[in-house]
C-alpha cells in the first residue's frame, strides 16, 4: 500500500469511528432510536433558530463600514466563540491521549506513525469544526435570511476558528505533557479548558461590574472608553469581523492563516503525538499519586460510604474542572453582591437565579457520579446495609457538597437582603433535591469514567434535569420580583418534576 | 431440609445445622431458563468447587446466593439465616468476589480495605492490622499507598480478594478468582484460601481450571443447563462414572455432554 493510499485509508477509518461515536451518543447506542434521533435533531435545529432570531436577528441589516463599537462587539463575539472551541478542543485532545483504545494496534503496525498521527490531528480539528458549524448554523441562517447571502462568509470564519482552535489546543496539550508530565496534565488541561471556556465572559462581566455596576458584558464592549483605546477601523485586528460580514479577502486570509497554523502543528507535533500518547497510556503504572500513612478511621457504615464518596469526588479531575467552572460563573454575581452590599439594588435580584441554576446543575452531576457511577456495585450490593440506607448516604454526600459550595454565598446575601437570601436558600435546596431525585429515578449502573456520556442513558432525565434547574431558577427570581408569577412558575416546575417521576422506570 | 422460624426481633432464622449454604429449588429465568430448580448444600468449613461449561448457570446461582440477583423461586439459607428474608444479616457473614475485579481507581488498596471494613462495621483496631497482613501476604504491601488506577488485572483481583477477607467472613463466594493471575499470584491466592478453610471458613468457588478444583476442593459440584448433574468428592465422582482412574477433565466432559445432548 502506497503512503497516500495508507493515509486516505486511515483517514476514512478515523472518520468512520468519529461518525459512529457521535451517532452512538445521539441514539444512546441503540439503533432502534435512529429515526427518533434524526427527528429530534431536526426539531432541535429548527427550534434553535428561534432564540437565534431573538438574539441576533436585529443585526442582520448591519453593513460595512462599521463604527468602532460595532466592530468591538462583533470581534468580541467571535473571540468568545473561538475560546469556547478552544476549550472543547483541549478537552477532546486530552481525551484522545488518555483513551488507550487502538494505540497498541497503531504502534505495532508497520505504518509511518507521524503520518497516522497527522491524520488523527486533522480528525480532531474536523470534529471540533463540525460541532462549531452545527451550533452556529442557526445563527448564520438567521443573518442570511435577514441580511442576504453576504453573511454566508460567516461559515468560512467558523471553519477558520475551528481549525485554529484545534491547532492551538493540540500544541498547548502536548507542551503541557512535556512541561508537567502526563499525571498532572490530565487535571491541569481539564481546568485550563474550563477557565478558557468561561474566562472571557467572566472577565467582561467583572469589568462591567467594576466599572458600571452591571452584569451586562455589552456595557463594557459598547463603552466609549474601550472605543478610545481600540485600533483604527482599518486595522488588521478587525479582519475577523469584516470576514463575517462578507469581506471575502479577509475571509481568505483567515482561512489561510488557520490552515498554515494547523499544518505547522501537524508537522511539528505529529512525531511527539505518538510519544505523548505512549506516556499517557503508561501513566497509569507510574504510581504518581501516593497517599499519606494514616490510621483507619472510626465511624458508622454510612460514614464509611460517605467518606469513600467524598474521596472519589475530590479526586475526580473532570468534576473538579466542572465545579471550578460553576464557581467561576458565580464570581460575577458575587462581585455584584459585594459592590451593592449596602443597598438592595434591583441588580442584586439577578444573583438568585444564577445561584439556583448552578446548584441544580452541580447536584445533577454529583448525583449521577455517586448514585449511578458506582465502580464497585457488587461490593456495595453485598455489604450488610439496606438499599435505602445506601442511597440515603449517597444523597447526603450530594447535598452536603452543594451546601458547602453555596452556603457562603447565601450567607453573604443574607447581609444585603435577608428575604432574598431566604428565597435563594429555599430554591437552592429544592433545585438540588429535584436534580438529585431525577438522577435517582433514572439511575443506570455505569462506570464513573462514563460520566461524559451520562446523557445518552436517558434523554428524558437529561432534559428534565435541565428544565427543573431552569424552572426553579425562574421561580426564585419571580418570587422576588412578582410573587404571584413565582408561585405559578413553582407549580409548573413541580408538575414537571412529578411528570418526570411518572415516566421513570419502575423498580422492585 | 431446613425450616424457617420467625424470631421476635423479626430476623428470619432457619433451624441450625452444619450447612454453611443450603439452596432449595432455586430458579432463575432470563430469556431462557438459567437456573432450574437447583438444590445445593455446602457444609461449614468445606472448600466447594462449582464447575460447568460456559452458560451453565454457575455465576447466576452464586449471584443469587450473594444477594445480587433475586431468584424467581427457591430459598437460600446461609448459616441458618434466610438470605431472602433477611439479606442484611446474611451479608454480614459472607463475602463475594466477582471474576471482574471491581475496585475504585482513585483509592489506594489500604483506603479500599478501610472502606470495606467500615461497610461491614469492623472496628479499625481490628481491621487495620488485618488489612496490612493481607496486603503483605498478597504481595501488595509496596503498593498499599498507590492509587489502584495503574494496577494490572491481577493486582486488582488481589485487592478485591483482600477486600473480601478483611471483614473475616464465614462464607466466601468466589467467581473465577484465578482468572488473570500469574502463577505466583495464583499460588498466593490458593494458599490464602486454603488457610481460611483450615481456620473454619467455608469457600465456594467457580472455576474453569479443573486442576484447581481437583487439588483444592473437598467436594465438587458439576452444573449443566442450570441443574446440578453430579456432586461429591473426586473419588465419589469417579465411582459414579464407573472408572476409578479417569481424570476430572474426562469426567467433566462426560457429565456435561449428557444434559446438552438430551
CB spacing of A382 vs B91 below 8 angstroms: yes
For the residues B187-210, what does the mean pLDDT come to?
88
pLDDT one-digit tens code per residue, A40-70: 778 887 888 888 888 777 777 877 777 778 8
Range 152-211 of B in CB contact (< 8 A) with A: 160, 163
Q: Are residues A279 and A313 in the same domain?
A: no
The pLDDT assigned to A346 comes to 61
For the residues A17-44, what does the mean pLDDT come to?
75
Q: Are residues A318 and A198 in the same domain?
A: no
Instruction: Give yes or no for a contact between B80 and B2, defined as CB atoms under 8 angstroms apart.
Output: yes
Q: Which residues of A touch B (CB under 8 A)?
A: 283-287, 289-293, 295-301, 303-305, 307-308, 311-312, 315-316, 375-386, 448, 508
Residue A344 has pLDDT above 70, yes or no: no
Which residue in the set B104, B128, B145 is minimally distant from A375, CB to CB?
Answer: B104
Q: Distance (Å, rounded) from C-alpha A318 to C-alpha A251? A: 36
CB spacing of A295 vs B108 below 8 angstroms: no
Q: What is the DSSP letter of A295?
A: P
CB spacing of B114 vs A508 below 8 angstroms: no
The continuous run of DSSP H or E covering B35 comes out as: strand B33-43
CB spacing of A291 vs B149 below 8 angstroms: no
Q: Are residues A326 and A270 in the same domain?
A: no
For the residues B125-134, what does the mean pLDDT come to?
93
What total of structural domains would you count in chain B? 1
Q: Is residue B251 part of a domain?
A: no
Min Cα separation B103/chain A (Å): 5
Q: Are residues A277 and A327 in the same domain?
A: no
Min Cα separation A281/chain B (Å): 10
Q: Is residue A171 part of a domain?
A: yes
The pLDDT assigned to A188 comes to 82
Domain that holds residue B157: 104-168
Q: Is residue B175 part of a domain?
A: no
Question: What's the distance, Cα to Cα, between the start and end of chain A in Å?
Answer: 58
For the residues A179-193, what does the mean pLDDT come to?
78
Q: Is residue A308 part of a domain?
A: yes
The pLDDT assigned to A127 comes to 85
Which residue in the set A290, A293, A376 is minimally distant from B102, CB to CB?
Answer: A376
Phi/psi for B20 (5° steps) reads -80, -40
Contacts of A282 (CB under 8 A, 6+ apart): A182
For the residues B170-174, what does the mean pLDDT come to?
94
Min Cα separation A114/chain B (Å): 28
Q: Is residue B51 part of a domain?
A: no
Domain that holds residue A129: 3-283
With an 8 Å Cβ cutoff, is B43 touching chain A?
no
pLDDT one-digit tens code per residue, A78-129: 888 888 888 888 888 887 777 656 666 777 777 777 777 778 788 888 888 8
Which residue in the set B106, B124, B145 is minimally distant from A290, CB to CB?
Answer: B145
Residue B162 has pLDDT above 90, yes or no: yes
Q: Distance (Å, rounded) from C-alpha B255 to C-alpha B260? A: 9
Task: State the sign of the Cα–Cα–Cα–Cα dihedral B123, B125, B126, B132.
Answer: positive
**Chain A hits for B146, Cβ within 8 Å:** 287, 289-291
How many residues appear in chain B?
262
Q: Are residues A324 and A268 in the same domain?
A: no
3-class DSSP state of B21: strand
For chain A, give the percent of residues with pLDDT over 90: 21
**Chain B hits for A370, Cβ within 8 Å:** none
pLDDT one-digit tens code per residue, B21-72: 999 999 999 888 899 999 999 999 999 999 988 888 999 999 999 988 899 9
Confidence of residue B240 (pLDDT cuts 50, 70, 90): confident
Which residue in the set B91, B104, B146 is minimally distant from A384, CB to CB?
Answer: B91
Q: Is residue B75 part of a domain?
A: no
- What b/e readout covers A126-138, taking b as 16+ CB neighbours within 10 angstroms? bbbbebbeeebbb
Pick the residue of A181, A378, A381 with the most B CBs within 10 A to test the interface with B by mutation: A378
Rounded to a whole number of angstroms, the CA Rg of chain B reads: 19
H helices of B56-152, in order, are 58-65, 87-92, 109-119, 124-137
For the residues A313-322, what does the mean pLDDT come to?
76
In terms of phi and psi (left: phi > 0; alpha: psi -120 to 50; beta: otherwise), the region of A440 is: alpha
CB spacing of A382 vs B150 below 8 angstroms: no
For chain A, the average pLDDT equals 81
> Per the omega criterion (within 30 degrees of 0), is the bond before B137 cis?
no
What total of structural domains would you count in chain A? 2
Instruction: Give yes or no for a contact between A185 and A173, defined as CB atoms under 8 angstroms apart.
Output: yes
Q: Are residues A334 and A384 in the same domain?
A: yes
With an 8 Å Cβ cutoff, is B140 touching chain A?
no
3-class DSSP state of B18: coil
**Chain B hits for A280, Cβ within 8 Å:** none
Angle at A242 between CA A240 and CA A247, to 5 degrees: 115
Looking at this predicted complex, what is its ipTM? 0.82
The pLDDT assigned to B7 comes to 39
Instruction: Give yes or no for a contact between A296 and B122, defined as CB atoms under 8 angstroms apart.
Output: no
CB spacing of B124 vs A295 below 8 angstroms: yes
Ranked by mean pLDDT, which of A14-28, A32-46, A75-89 comes out on top? Answer: A75-89
**Residue A174: CA count within 13 A, CB half-sphere:** 21
Task: Let me know if A87 is exposed, middle or buried by CB neighbors in 10 A (0-12, 13-18, 19+).
Answer: buried
The pLDDT assigned to A3 comes to 65
The pLDDT assigned to A456 comes to 64
CB spacing of B88 vs A303 below 8 angstroms: no
Pick the residue of B104, B128, B148 with the most A CBs within 10 A to test the interface with A by mutation: B104
| Contacts across the A-B interface (CB distance below 8 Å) | 112
Task: Let me know if B52 is exposed, middle or buried by CB neighbors in 10 A (0-12, 13-18, 19+).
Answer: buried
For chain B, give the percent of residues with pLDDT over 70: 91
**Chain A hits for B122, Cβ within 8 Å:** none
CB spacing of A296 vs B98 below 8 angstroms: no
Q: Distance (Å, rounded) from C-alpha A441 to C-alpha A84? A: 33
Pick the residue of A373, A384, A446 with the most B CBs within 10 A to test the interface with B by mutation: A384
CB spacing of A291 vs B110 below 8 angstroms: yes
With an 8 Å Cβ cutoff, is B22 touching chain A?
no
3-class DSSP state of B47: strand
With an 8 Å Cβ cutoff, is B103 touching chain A?
yes
Q: Is residue B112 part of a domain?
A: yes
Q: What is the DSSP letter of B151?
A: -
> Per the omega criterion (within 30 degrees of 0), is the bond before A65 cis?
yes
Q: What is the DSSP letter of B33?
A: E
Q: Is residue B234 part of a domain?
A: no
Residue A400 has pLDDT above 90, yes or no: yes
For the CA atoms of B58, B62, B64, B66, the dihedral, rounded to the nearest 10 degrees, stands at: -170
Residue at a domain's end among A283, A314, A329: A283
Q: Are residues A170 and A256 in the same domain?
A: yes
**Residue A421: CA count within 13 A, CB half-sphere:** 16
Residue A75 has pLDDT above 50, yes or no: yes
The pLDDT assigned to B13 comes to 44
Q: Is residue A292 part of a domain?
A: no
Q: Are residues A121 and A220 in the same domain?
A: yes
Residue A357 has pLDDT above 60, yes or no: yes
Q: Distance (Å, rounded) from C-alpha A506 to C-alpha A498? A: 14
pLDDT one-digit tens code per residue, A427-478: 999 999 999 999 999 888 888 777 766 766 677 888 888 899 999 999 998 9
Min Cα separation A290/chain B (Å): 5
For chain A, give the percent of residues with pLDDT over 70: 85
Min Cα separation A391/chain B (Å): 14
Residue A508 has pLDDT above 70, yes or no: no
Residue B3 has pLDDT above 50, yes or no: no
With an 8 Å Cβ cutoff, is B119 touching chain A?
yes
Residue at a domain's end among A221, A252, A283: A283
The pLDDT assigned to A39 comes to 83
> pLDDT: is A232 or A452 the higher one?
A232
Q: Is residue B135 part of a domain?
A: yes
Residue A203 has pLDDT above 80, yes or no: no
The continuous run of DSSP H or E covering A500 comes out as: helix A483-503
Q: Are residues A99 and A142 in the same domain?
A: yes
Q: Distance (Å, rounded) from C-alpha B107 to C-alpha B148? A: 6
Q: Is residue A91 part of a domain?
A: yes
Q: Are residues A372 and A406 in the same domain?
A: yes
Instruction: Give yes or no for a contact between A159 and A257, defined as CB atoms under 8 angstroms apart.
Output: no
The pLDDT assigned to A16 comes to 83
For chain B, the average pLDDT equals 85
Residue at a domain's end among A224, A256, A283: A283
Q: Are residues A66 and A152 in the same domain?
A: yes
Tell me which chain A residue has its CA closest to the CA of residue B143.
Answer: A287
Q: Is residue B9 part of a domain?
A: no
Contacts of B247 (CB under 8 A, 6+ apart): none
Q: Distance (Å, rounded) from C-alpha A304 to C-alpha A311? A: 11
Amino acid at each position: 500500500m502506497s503512503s497516500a493510499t495508507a493515509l486516505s485509508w486511515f483517514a476514512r477509518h478515523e472518520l468512520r469511528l468519529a461518525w459512529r461515536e457521535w451517532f452512538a451518543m445521539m441514539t444512546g447506542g441503540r439503533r432502534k432510536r435512529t429515526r427518533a434521533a434524526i427527528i429530534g435533531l431536526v426539531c432541535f435545529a429548527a427550534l434553535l433558530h428561534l432564540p437565534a432570531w431573538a438574539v441576533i436577528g436585529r443585526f442582520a441589516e448591519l453593513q460595512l463600514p462599521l463604527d468602532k463599537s460595532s466592530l468591538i462587539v462583533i470581534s468580541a463575539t467571535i473571540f468568545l466563540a473561538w475560546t469556547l472551541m478552544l476549550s472543547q478542543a483541549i478537552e477532546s485532545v486530552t481525551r484522545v491521549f488518555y483513551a488507550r483504545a487502538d494505540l497498541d494496534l497503531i504502534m505495532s503496525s508497520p505504518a509511518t506513525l507521524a503520518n497516522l498521527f497527522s491524520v488523527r490531528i486533522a480528525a480532531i480539528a474536523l470534529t471540533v469544526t463540525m460541532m462549531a458549524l452545527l451550533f452556529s448554523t442557526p445563527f448564520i441562517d438567521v443573518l442570511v435570511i435577514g441580511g442576504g447571502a453576504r453573511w454566508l462568509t460567516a461559515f468560512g470564519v467558523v471553519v477558520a476558528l475551528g481549525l485554529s482552535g484545534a491547532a492551538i489546543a493540540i500544541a498547548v496539550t502536548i507542551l503541557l505533557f512535556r512541561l508537567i508530565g502526563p499525571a498532572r496534565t490530565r487535571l491541569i488541561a481539564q481546568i485550563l479548558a474550563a477557565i478558557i471556556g468561561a474566562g472571557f465572559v467572566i472577565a467582561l462581566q467583572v469589568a462591567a461590574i467594576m466599572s458600571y455596576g452591571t452584569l451586562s458584558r455589552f456595557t463594557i464592549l459598547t463603552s466609549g472608553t474601550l472605543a478610545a483605546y481600540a485600533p483604527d477601523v482599518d486595522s488588521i485586528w478587525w479582519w475577523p469581523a469584516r470576514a463575517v460580514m462578507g469581506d471575502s479577502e479577509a475571509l481568505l486570509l483567515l482561512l489561510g492563516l488557520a490552515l498554515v497554523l494547523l499544518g505547522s502543528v501537524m508537522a511539528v507535533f505529529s512525531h511527539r503525538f505518538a510519544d505523548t500518547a505512549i506516556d499517557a497510556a503508561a501513566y497509569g503504572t507510574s504510581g504518581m499519586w501516593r497517599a499519606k500513612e494514616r490510621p483507619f478511621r472510626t465511624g458508622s457504615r454510612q460514614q464509611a460510604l460517605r467518606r469513600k464518596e467524598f474521596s472519589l469526588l475530590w479526586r475526580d479531575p473532570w468534576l473538579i474542572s466542572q465545579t471550578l467552572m460553576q464557581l467561576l460563573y458565580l464570581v460575577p454575581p458575587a462581585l455584584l453582591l459585594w459592590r451593592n452590599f449596602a443597598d438592595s439594588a434591583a441588580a442584586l435580584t439577578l444573583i438568585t437565579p444564577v445561584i439556583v441554576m448552578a446548584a441544580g446543575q452541580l447536584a445533577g452531576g454529583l448525583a449521577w457520579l455517586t448514585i449511578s457511577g458506582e465502580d464497585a456495585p457488587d461490593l456495595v450490593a453485598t455489604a450488610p446495609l439496606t438499599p435505602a440506607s445506601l442511597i440515603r448516604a449517597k444523597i447526603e454526600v450530594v447535598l452536603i457538597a452543594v451546601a458547602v459550595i453555596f452556603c457562603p454565598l447565601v450567607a453573604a446575601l443574607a447581609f444585603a437582603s435577608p428575604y432574598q437570601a431566604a428565597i435563594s436558600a429555599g430554591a437552592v435546596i429544592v433545585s438540588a433535591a429535584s436534580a438529585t431525585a431525577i438522577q435517582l429515578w433514572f439511575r443506570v449502573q455505569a462506570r464513573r469514567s462514563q460520566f461524559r456520556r451520562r446523557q445518552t442513558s436517558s434523554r428524558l432525565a437529561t432534559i428534565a434535569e435541565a428544565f427543573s434547574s431552569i424552572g426553579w431558577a425562574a421561580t426564585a427570581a419571580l418570587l422576588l420580583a412578582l410573587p404571584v408569577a413565582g408561585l405559578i412558575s413553582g407549580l409548573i416546575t413541580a408538575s414537571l418534576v412529578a411528570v418526570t417521576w411518572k415516566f421513570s422506570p419502575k423498580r422492585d | 431440609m431446613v425450616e424457617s422460624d420467625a424470631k421476635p426481633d423479626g430476623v428470619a432464622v432457619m433451624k441450625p445445622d452444619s450447612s454453611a449454604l443450603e439452596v432449595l429449588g432455586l430458579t432463575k429465568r432470563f430469556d431462557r431458563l438459567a437456573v432450574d430448580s437447583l438444590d445445593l448444600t455446602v457444609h461449614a468449613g468445606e472448600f466447594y468447587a462449582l464447575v460447568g461449561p460456559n452458560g451453565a448457570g454457575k455465576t447466576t446461582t452464586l449471584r443469587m446466593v450473594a444477594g445480587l440477583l433475586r431468584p424467581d423461586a427457591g430459598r437460600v439459607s446461609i448459616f441458618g439465616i434466610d438470605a431472602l428474608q433477611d439479606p442484611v444479616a446474611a451479608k454480614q457473614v459472607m463475602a463475594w468476589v466477582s471474576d471482574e475485579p471491581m475496585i475504585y481507581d482513585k483509592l489506594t488498596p489500604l483506603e479500599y480495605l478501610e472502606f470495606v471494613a467500615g461497610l461491614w462495621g469492623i472496628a479499625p483496631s481490628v481491621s487495620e492490622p488485618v488489612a496490612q497482613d493481607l496486603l503483605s501476604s498478597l504481595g501488595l504491601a509496596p503498593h498499599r499507598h498507590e492509587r489502584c488506577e495503574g494496577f494490572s488485572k491481577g493486582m486488582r483481583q488481589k485487592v478485591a480478594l483482600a477486600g473480601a477477607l478483611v471483614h473475616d467472613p464465614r462464607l466466601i463466594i468466589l467467581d473465577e478468582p484465578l482468572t488473570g493471575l500469574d502463577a505466583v499470584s495464583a499460588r498466593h491466592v490458593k494458599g490464602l484460601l486454603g488457610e481460611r478453610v483450615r481456620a473454619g471458613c467455608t469457600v465456594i468457588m467457580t472455576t474453569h481450571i479443573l486442576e484447581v478444583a481437583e487439588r483444592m476442593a473437598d467436594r465438587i459440584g458439576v452444573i449443566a443447563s442450570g441443574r446440578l448433574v453430579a456432586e461429591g468428592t473426586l473419588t465419589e465422582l469417579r465411582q459414579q462414572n464407573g472408572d476409578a482412574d479417569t481424570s476430572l477433565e474426562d469426567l467433566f466432559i462426560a457429565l456435561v455432554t449428557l444434559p446438552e445432548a438430551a
